[in-house]
Amino acid sequence: MSAGAVRAFLARHGLAPHRDRGQNFLVDEGLADRLVELAGVARGDTVVEIGTGLGILTRALAARGARVVSIEVDAGIVRALRAEQALPEGVELLHADAVQFDLAGLVRAAAPPVRVVANLPYSASAPLLRRLLDLRDALCDWSLMLQRDLVDRLLAPPGTKQYGSLSVLHRLSVTLERKCTLRPGCFHPAPQVASAFVRFVPLAEPVLRAGELARVERLVRAAFSVRRKTLANALRAAGLPLAHGEALEATLQSAGLDTRVRAEQLDPALFLALTRALGVTPDAAAS
């Protein structure tokens, strides 16, 4: 499907790309096939696709022999896809906002193995990334098209400006692999930035205990809330317990650090150790 074919499809139904929804439609069918291959999709898999768009990736997933459930927020696009019978037989198309939708219910009810594949709109990337971490025990993996700058943040090592809460939470939960980078011309309309396709695989030997991700998240977000502050001052400003207590000092000293350290200097394992040492509880306001 060329950019011209995309424009014609949209025009037939009185539609146009929605900037606020970050609609940038993939236009290269060969590339869609390659992405499905990179995602490791196999015959018999259940694939939850977030963001059907005009169906180019959906068709590639179905051609691979997967059972596909595709979620699309745009009612006009859903009507157009159904009117033109643009999706293969057997694909289940749901009109829903994936940010609000019961993804957990869908994933846990699906026949395993279950994967997620998505060309995520930039505006919805952060909340969906976090929700997928909570589903890591029910998914064999998830492969996402994301803004390249966001991918750089996810993969950033400690001690860099891009390293932050997203980096820490993902390193404690999954392995990440940047599969490829896509130029803006692969989409219509062309976005202002490059994109990257990343595969997330839950750790074979989990380091987090049940319910612990939310506890670590509270500590990490507090630690990075004011990057210029020391870790101790950032935690105190966030109202976390024992910010200057013996547990904090002992945990840092065991790693060869002191309380003047800043959040970006701590590796993910140390954030986990601090969460346990300080007895951090989940943020009730966020739950």
Domain count, the chain: 2
Asked if 183 and 129 count as a contact pair (C-beta separation under 8 A), the reply is: no
Residue 284 has pLDDT above 60, yes or no: no
What's the mean pLDDT when you consider all of the chain?
Answer: 91
Domain boundary among the residues 176, 202, 228 is at 202
> How far apart are the C-alpha atoms of 171 and 270, rounded to whole Å?
12
Reported as type and span, the H/E element at residue 50 is: strand 46-50
Tell me: do 136 and 227 sit in the same domain: no
Q: What are the tens digits of pLDDT across the range 82-115?
A: 999 999 999 999 999 999 999 999 999 999 999 9
Provide the percentage of residues in the chain whose pLDDT is more than 90. Answer: 71
Q: Which residues of 269-282 are buried (b: 16+ CB within 10 A; e: fewer)?
A: ebbbbbbbbbebee
For the ranges 135-149, 217-231, 251-265, which has the lowest average pLDDT?
251-265
Omega cis (within 30) before 206:
no
Domain boundary among the residues 183, 202, 221 is at 202
Tell me: do 129 and 66 sit in the same domain: yes
Closest CA to 271 of 228, 236, 222: 222
SS3 category, 225: coil
Q: Would you say residue 86 lies in a domain?
A: yes
Tell me: do 221 and 186 sit in the same domain: no
For the ranges 65-69, 117-121, 163-167, which has the lowest average pLDDT?
117-121
pLDDT on residue 244: 47
> How far apart are the C-alpha atoms of 144 and 125, rounded to whole Å?
9
CATH label of the domain that carries residue 240: 1.10.8.100
> How far apart are the C-alpha atoms of 70 and 53, rounded to whole Å?
9
Q: Would you say residue 284 lies in a domain?
A: no
Tell me: do 191 and 219 sit in the same domain: no
Q: What is the rounded average pLDDT of the residues 71-85?
A: 96
Tell me: do 146 and 28 sit in the same domain: yes
Tell me: do 155 and 258 sit in the same domain: no
> How far apart are the C-alpha atoms of 10 and 287, rounded to whole Å?
39
Asked if 208 and 173 count as a contact pair (C-beta separation under 8 A), the reply is: yes
C-alpha distance across the termini of the chain, in Å: 42
Alpha-carbon distances, residue 12 vs 51, 126, 282 (angstroms) = 20, 33, 49
Domain boundary among the residues 151, 170, 202 is at 202
Domain membership of residue 39 as a residue range: 3-202
Query: Encoding tokens for residue 65?
Result: 């022999």
Tell me: do 27 and 164 sit in the same domain: yes
pTM score, two decimals? 0.92
pLDDT on residue 222: 93
Q: Would you say residue 207 lies in a domain?
A: no
What radius of gyration, in Å, describes the C-alpha atoms of the chain? 21
Q: Would you say residue 12 lies in a domain?
A: yes
Tell me: do 35 and 128 sit in the same domain: yes
Reported as type and span, the H/E element at residue 34 is: helix 29-38
Tell me: do 239 and 196 sit in the same domain: no
**Largest separation between any pair of C-alpha atoms in the chain:** 67
The set of residues, in sequence order, having a beta carbon less than 8 Å from that of 65 and lying 6+ positions away, is: 42, 43, 44, 45
Tell me: do 75 and 119 sit in the same domain: yes
Q: Would you say residue 264 lies in a domain?
A: yes
Tell me: do 163 and 185 sit in the same domain: yes
> How far apart are the C-alpha atoms of 54 and 152, rounded to whole Å?
28
Tell me: do 67 and 171 sit in the same domain: yes
